[in-house]
Structure 1
Amino acid sequence: MKKLLLSLILLVSFFGNAQIFDPVKWKTKVVQKSDTEYELVMDATIDSEWHIYSQYTPDGGAQPASFEYKDAKGNYKLVGKTVEGPYKKVFNDIFEVDEYYFAKTAQFKQVIKITNPKLKEVKVYIEYQACKEQCIQQDKTFTFVIPENKIVATVDTNEAIQATEQAVLTSNNSDTTAVEKVVASQDNSKVKKDKKAGKKDKAVNVWVLFLGTLIAGLLVTFTPCVFPMIPMTVSFFLKQSAKGDKKKGRNNALMYGFFIVFIYVLISLPFHIFQSLSPDIFYEISTNPYLNIFFFIVFVVFAISFLGAFEITIPSSLANKVDSASNKGGFVGIFFMALTLIIVSFSCTGPALGAVIGGVLSTDGGATLLTIAMLGFGLGLAFPFMMFALFPSMMGNLPKSGGWLNTVKVVFGFIELALAFKFLSMADLVMDWHILERETFIAVWITLFAGLALYLFGKITLPHDSPLTHLSVGRLLLALLSLAFTIYLIPGLWGAPLNLISGFPPPMSYSESPHGVGYKNMQLTTNGTTSELPDLASYGPHNIVTFHNYDDGLAYAKKVNKPVMIDFTGKTCVNCRRMEEKVWSLPQILPILKGDIVLISLYVDDRTPLPKAEIYETPNGKTIDTYGKKWSDFSITKYKANIQPYYILMDHDEENLNEPVGYTPDVEEYKTWLQEGIANFKK
């Protein structure tokens, strides 16, 4: 009787506290652009402290928004991609990726061209993730009414909005939207304000990129193709100063450096045109596996060139024409002098330049970041020429040319070859080929940096190397650094995290042995003995035995007479991972999860299709066709909650043992909750 009374009290308490969160309110409208083209506009108002993610947020982090335009075939065509407003970019230390999200407001637009004149409505299905302390998997279906009158009315924008805009909240039941027949664009002052705020978030990354490419430009000056050019070029400007025209010599030196920078910036300008034609081109490049393979091949070719197998050069006829043009006087001659340097030194700067362009193009940074990268690279290359021309007395501090220049070039070759495998890894991850899993990637890097160490110690010689009579201090230190890095990488083959290169190798889950080499299908019990992993279970975080099917987990709990802990979670849920890493791993909590409960983790964003026999529709018409949707619907219908993480302790009759909790970073509070539920189970 007491147990029944306790269960009733807890059940009432639970339903009094559980709630369905809906932190995002939507308004939709149709804007007629022409006789056959319409713009579908979806405006989101997001509750304070909540945010939703961009459709372009990188893989490996939170779930991006996705749009599905229903019944398009034969009725309408999409004109371009879904356009979204400016987002914020923030680094997530849990997933170790940048994430793009919207706070307070978000807007998505899609232009369509009607091909069926009888079309009356367009349905758009959207999936997204809303997060605060918990995350919520949400989906909506919007119904846009297409007007019968397809003649565009040219009217004042503000009047048209006030007279015709009747935007309504939508739900899974699909409400309709009003039509706004306007041609003039809306006021974009708010968009400009949001862009200004977004620039602040990107400032740090821009400076890191600029400084990195500036250093790269400085380093390539210490190569056989560039370094000898410094005294030759400086002597040209010194001759002008010697003739008594010191001011002219200094000005020409500055213009020479300016033109070097100008030419490199000029190389980036076509990418601005590409981006204007296709705003998503950089995102497509960064995620396209075949382009990543192309970058891999280019980097390998450049690296082999640096190692001395061959030289990548511009045709000599072009170089000769440019060199002859440099004899012209004035700024034109100086411009062609700068162009001659860039062409002649291409065999050394080309691979480094390819690394800069490929590195930026493989991100979503856009043409602006590419221009900043080229600006930094050009400044780095031009700086020594300008500095020594302006201050010739410093020339005496320059080291003499020699075999060390080729050594620098070879070191670049090893590093570029290592970076090439990052592009191959990205393609492999996207296509799920499992060709370059974590162990293979790390083994390749161990081989390359061990080879670099041997080369620097003089145990390996390559073409164009000078005889090595002794090790310079700099070469010895670099060799020791490469050897130390090689030794650091070795434990990664057995599952070490390798935080120094986090983000470069594939994740631990993309591995031949995700639990480490020597792993066996056994678990350590609380009394120190081992036992086999139960059927239909797997190892979750910290090797906790985990079921991913509700019925399988409940059946096992009955067999071993332990309470069940349901963990409504998500693969892209930040605070779910934070709970697992910061709370579950602690010695106060981990033994309880391993020994006293049966864990059932249900991923609400699992897109694995359900068997056809298990597909069903909810009373409001939503089709449940994936495991993620099934567990999300289960959470909503049974527990009246749609947040993640969400934890429930229950007995074998599927009755709650205490009040469910969400994100609980307080370790003692979470421990008390676990102990309370387990104690109630034992009564």
Structure 2
Amino acid sequence: MKRLTLTTLLVLAVFSVFSQIIEPIKWTFDSRQDGRDVELIFEAAIEENWHLYDTYLPEGGPIATQLVFEDSTLFDFAGDLTKNPQPVEKFDNTFQMNLRFFSNEATLTQKIRLKSDEPVEISGYVLFMGCDDEMCLPPNEAEFSFKFNGSAPAKQDAPAVSESSPSGITSGSSSGQTLWLFILISALAGFAAILTPCVFPMIPMTVSFFMRGSENRGRAVRTGLFFGVSIVLIFSLLGALFTFGLFGPNVGNILSTHWIPNLIFFLLFLVFAVSFFGAFEIVLPSSLVNKTDSKAEKGGMIGAFFMALTTVIVSFSCTGPFIGALIIEAVQDGGMRPLIGMFFFGLAFAAPFTLLAIFPSALNKLPKSGGWLNSIKVVFAFVLLAFGLKFLSNIDQVYGLNFISREIYLAIWIVLFFLLGMYFLGKIKFSHDSDVPFIGTGRLFLSVATFTFVIYLFTGLFGAPLTSISALLPPPSQVHSFVGGGQSAVQNTQNELCGPAKYADKLHLPHGLNGYFDYEQGMACAEEQNKPVFLVFKGHACANCKKMENGVWADSRALKLLSEKYVIVALYTDDRTTLSEDEWITSKVDGKVKKTMGKKNLDFQIEKYETNSIPFHVVIEPDGTERKLGVTFDADEFVDFLEKRL
């Protein structure tokens, strides 16, 4: 059999230029109370090489640290703000002036006197900005709240609000639901990886390793548990590398928008799929496997750890696609998801090994290795081809190439899943497949489910919204309208515009809505019509954007409000359209010239709203009042957001 050697360094190199938003400054809050006299304490923990600017700075420099109270009429200030330690003053290369700042840590203390003995809540936020020797982050806010009721207040620990979840965004319950769904997917991926030909046969080999010395039951249990914990730690370490931004700061959106990483991901999925079909075998260098395997022979806790490491390394040729897809999705969403995802993947992956290591007699009840494992591998190959197409679609949408329309995308999926259904029926056979003398009940049900999915995909060619998988598909073309599934919202609803919209030749809104793709043009029309503005920051390659548009936007109530009550302004933060020179801007955030539509819109979003997460929605009333909403898949919450104050 042909073999293709890949090292883990290759995988790391693919991801080495990507990360999510970093948070080098984190805040905690405390207070001390003596009757009406109160000390409010604001403590900042500052990562190495970063610094927090002082509360007073010269004009023309960065934003000074400020304490902003929502209602300062509840108390009187009882002295000046004190600082510990005192800030140092140095020449700042970024701003070319002498500036005062804190390093490592800072404690700000403000004494106040309450005006009443009644229970009171004092809330607000710390406005701050952090820089290192090479870059500065956008201004950020950390919210605080102190409650006083005549006794000592409860301490509040509040980390600095990240740019992916800024102060003022209505998050709703959907964020938690989405995180739990991500955890479930991570765990299912870990279980699925076990049922691959390079992992499942390792179970009896692993169990036989732990059966040595099984006469000491307590020791065997401890060793087996340590083996499982080691697997989880190894996978979690990979997730931690991406979670804590060790691969470059503040360039996470490159992962989903730039053509180079998307092309690399497509090719990786393609290579793994072809390998799973049996064309060649992907293996790691034998020297690496032999070294870890030899150390595993030492026994004890050290042996258990190296046995775990050997298991992870040897299984890489089958777990690679699961890990890659999981990390790609996690890094795009940012936050702690890479670490969380890899932790639950490792937990699910390690569970069967660990349980069988502790209870080796259960090994006799497992099915024997055989042709069914190769069948699972072939199924994964079809799925990898289908999901790999998404990365080519990202390139197509972001760069406006228009070579993979929704119809072509669906046609490819229909063919792939039709072939998968035929494979379940035994009509297609690969070189390493066992003979299928008859169709079992399991294969029959799987083929029925697959062909049902093919019919579901087929309806999309005639304009069906395919809401359940909309996040994976290109947006619908403008020639289709479809009413079905109880969503009468998907129809031809035309907003009245003040004039032709810029970029409307290449950019479109879903569901027949009309709007603008330039902020100034949209705001001018809203002023002319005396309407509020529905401003949305979105992206061509943003899965949650598509999911919201095909879900909550398509609700009949939401669509009626959007089409009748608002001027819609959609700003793409990943579009690569080069602007004319008179439209270029010099960023106030990083000082760089922004020459493309996406970079200009993203810079505007960060500067004005201190976030770069998408989708991000803002309603701007005619009087200038704003309210904000992050991602939500709850139609009632979205409609309530649109109806408020109308």
TM-score, with length taken from structure 2: 0.56
Equivalenced residue count is 442
Deviation at 1:445, TM superposition (A): 1.4
Conserved 8 A contact 2:536-2:569: no
Verify the 8 A CA contact 1:37 1:113 in the aligned structure 2: no
In the TM superposition, 1:615-626 aligns within 5 A as none
Distance 1:321 1:609 in 2: 52
Separation (CA, whole Å) in 2 of partners of 1:232 and 1:195: 46
CA distance in 2: counterparts of 1:536 and 1:38, whole angstroms: 41
Is the CA contact 2:53–2:101 (under 8 Å) kept in the aligned structure 1? no
Question: Do 1:260 and 1:382's aligned partners in 2 also have CA atoms closer than 8 Å?
Answer: yes
Alignment of 1:387-398 (within 5 A): 387-398=355-366
Q: Post-superposition shift, 1:285? A: 2.5
Q: Give the CA deviation at 1:295.
A: 1.7
Task: Name which of structure 1's ranges 401-410 and 412-421 shifts more when overlaid on structure 2.
Answer: 412-421
2:409 corresponds to which residue? 441
Change (3 A) 1:603 1:380: closer
Pick one of 365, 378, 392 that aligns with 2:334. 365
Amino acid at match of 2:556: K
Quote the offset at 1:484 in angstroms. 0.6
**Is the 8 Å Cα contact of residues 570 and 606 (structure 1) preserved in structure 2?**
no
Pick closer, same or farther for the CA change 1:261–1:640 going to 2, 3 Å.
Answer: closer
Q: What are the within-5 Å matches in structure 2 for residues 643-662 of structure 1?
A: none
1:291-343 deviation per Cα after TM superposition (whole angstroms, max 9, x unaligned): 22222222222222222221111011221222222221322222222222222
Q: Which residue of 1 aligns with 2:34?
A: none
**How far apart, CA to CA, are the structure 1 residues paired with 2:106 and 2:514?**
61
Q: Secondary structure at the match of 2:232?
A: helix
Which amino acid is the alignment partner of residue 223 of structure 1? T
- Give RMSD over aligned pairs: 5.4
For residues 397-434 of structure 1, give each alpha carbon's deviation from its aligned partner in whole angstroms, at most 9, with x where no partner exists.
21121100001111111112211122222232222222
- Letter matched to residue 489 of structure 1: L
Q: CA deviation at 1:47?
A: 9.3
Aligned residue in 2 for 1:513: 479
Q: How does 1:568-583 map to 2 (within 5 A)?
A: 569-570=533-534, 572=536, 581-583=555-557
The verdict on how the C-alpha distance between 1:506 and 1:45 changes in structure 2, with shifts beyond 3 A counting, is farther
Written as runs of structure 1 = structure 2, the 5 A alignment for 1:139-218 is: 150=98, 152=100, 190=144, 193-195=157-159, 203-218=176-191
Deviations 1:597-639 (A, max 9, x none): xx998555679999999xxxxxxxxxxxx9x99xxxxxxxxx9
Contact 1:568 1:604 in 2 (8 A): no
CA 1:459–1:33 in structure 2 vs 1: closer, same or farther (change >3 Å)?
farther
Specify whether residues 401 and 474 from structure 1 end up closer, same or farther in structure 2 by C-alpha distance, changes over 3 A only.
Answer: same
Paired residue for 1:335?
A: 305
Q: Higher Cα Rg: structure 1 or 2?
A: 1
> 1:154 and 1:415, CA in 2 relative to 1: closer, same or farther beyond 3 A?
closer
CA contact (8 A) 1:286 1:364 kept: no
Aligned residue number for residue 258 of structure 1: 229
Quote the offset at 1:486 in angstroms: 0.7
Write the deviation string for residues 160-181 of structure 1: whole angstroms up to 9, x where unpaired: 999xxxxxxxxxxxxxxxx9xx
Q: Does 1:39 align with 2:62?
A: yes
Secondary structure at 1:426's aligned position in 2? helix
1:355 aligns with 325
Distance in structure 1 (CA, Å) of the matches to 2:243 and 2:416: 36
Is the counterpart of residue 344 in structure 1 residue 314 in structure 2? Answer: yes
Q: Are 1:224 and 1:405, in contact at CA under 8 Å, matched by a contact in 2? A: yes
Per the TM alignment, residue 485 of structure 1 is displaced from its structure 2 partner at its CA by 0.4
Amino acid at match of 1:365: G
Matches within 5 A, 1:124-523: 150=98, 152=100, 190=144, 193-195=157-159, 203-241=176-214, 244-272=215-243, 275=245, 278-361=248-331, 363-366=332-335, 368-508=336-476, 511=477, 513-515=479-481
> What amino acid is the match of 1:207?
W
Q: How far apart, CA to CA, are the structure 1 residues paired with 2:326 and 2:431?
A: 26
Superposition map of 1:5-154 within 5 A: 31=54, 38-41=61-64, 113=93, 150=98, 152=100
Query: CA offsets, 1:483-534, max 9 Å, x none?
Result: 11011010101110111212111222xx3735479xxxxxx99xxxxxxxxx
Flag structure 2 segments of 5+ consecutive residues without an equivalent: 1-51, 72-90, 112-128, 130-138, 146-155, 166-170, 484-490, 493-498, 518-527, 538-547, 583-596, 605-620, 628-639
- Partners of 2:581 and 2:251 lie apart in 1 by 37
Specify the code of the residue in structure 1 equivalent to 2:384.
Answer: E
Secondary structure at 1:257 match in 2: helix
Letter in structure 2 aligned against 1:190: F
C-alpha distance after superposition, 1:33-77 (max 9, x if no partner): 9999942259798999xxxxxxxxxxxxxxxxxxxxxxxxxxxxx
Question: Using the alignment, how far apart are the partners of 1:606 and 1:250 within structure 2?
Answer: 57
CA–CA separation in structure 2 for the residues paired with 1:329 and 1:544: 66
**SS of the residue 1:296 aligns to:** helix
Look up the equivalent residue of 1:472 and give its one-letter code: G
Paired with 1:39 and 1:341, the residues of 2 have a C-alpha distance of 51
Residues 515 and 609 (structure 1), Cα distance of their counterparts in 2 relative to 1, 3 Å cut: farther
Query: What secondary structure, in the 3-state scheme, does the structure 2 residue paired with 1:572 have?
Result: strand
User: Mean Cα displacement is larger for which, 414-423 or 486-495?
Assistant: 414-423
CA distance in 1, matches of 2:399, 2:201: 45
**Kindly, what percent of the aligned residue pairs are identical?**
35
